[in-house]
Amino acid sequence: MTEPSAHPLDHLVLPTQSLDLARARLNSLGFVVAPVGIHPFGTENACVFFADGTYLEPLAVGSREVAERAIGEGNVFVARDHLYRERLGEEGFSAIVLGTGDAEADHARYLEAGLSAGNILTFSRAFTDQAGRSDTASFKLAFCADKGTDDAFLFACERINAPKIDRTALQAHANGVTGIAEIVAVSDEPAAQIALIATAAGAEAGKDDALQLPNAALTVLTPEAYASRFAVPALPPSELRFAALVFWVRDKAAAMRALAAGAVEHNMSGNDIVVPPAPGQGAAFIFREIP
């Protein structure tokens, strides 16, 4: 089987108890939040889009009855979301999503590596922008997870039909964020988890604790190293847990003004602005000025 080129980061999934809670928190951080999107399998989102093409997907359960039925039908996305909430609660950072042009090929690679988390999922949903213009978004997802890793998963996302909608207004964030610079995970065995992530992304694992995707870095640290780097409390031991997002900002001073306007507590770690996790936020948010 021919190895594909490394997949780029597409988006990140942030479970939340309530999209209203997530919207309020993200607005206070200086983000523009898109209108609610409804999935056909019981979950719903309110995304935050960036100029670099990546986005955040705050995810809530809109209909528990529909979600439970989807789990019974083998829907891996809903099943993994349910597992995450059962283990770690309603707020957090559950999944890294990688862009792909061929989800079927990724699914085959995951099966071959013994890392498939379940069947491919194909679905469509309506998408509406802030001006009320609508289109249909269609996706095909292939899931990757180690059998012993229950706190996190990854999936490759093929956009079968991308909405033809102008997102410029949705990308004009008061905090000046233009995209995602780095994703930080914690693990008791970082090298093993970098190998898992490299398989998911179709990339070669490096010799250190980081993997470079085409559009973002992905770093896996021990809980102690994570706490030391960002001056935050250490997370409990885990095979793999996604912990923090590092955003690119045009101007650090503008980001600090946006946080002050939203009355958001933050601290500094070197030149990075660090906002600890909070309900509706899910992970530590770190703002880093573009060099």
- The confidence score (pLDDT) of residue 187 equals 94
Q: What is the predicted pLDDT for the residue at 206?
A: 67
pTM value is: 0.94
At 2 the pLDDT is 38
Query: What's the 3-state SS for the chain?
Result: CCCCCCCCEEEEEEECCCHHHHHHHHHHCCCCCCCCEECCCCEEECCEECCCCCEEEEEEECCHHHHHHHHHCCCHHHHHHHHHHHHHCCCCCCEEEEECCCHHHHHHHHHHHCCECCCCEEEEEEEECCCCCEEEEEEEEEEECCCCCCCCEEEEEEEEECCCCCCCHHHCCCCCEEEEEEEEEECCCHHHHHHHHHHHHCCCCCCCCEEECCCCEEEEECHHHHHHHHCCCCCCCCCCEEEEEEEEECCHHHHHHHHHHCCCCCEEECCEEEECCCCCCCCEEEEEECC
Mind listing the pLDDT tens digit for each residue in 49-72?
999 999 999 999 999 999 999 999
What is the mean pLDDT for each group of 10 consecutive residues in the chain (291 residues)?
A: 72 98 98 93 97 97 97 97 96 97 96 95 79 79 90 95 82 97 95 91 80 94 94 87 97 96 95 96 97 90
At 128 the pLDDT is 67
- Confidence at residue 264, expressed as pLDDT on a 0 to 100 scale: 97
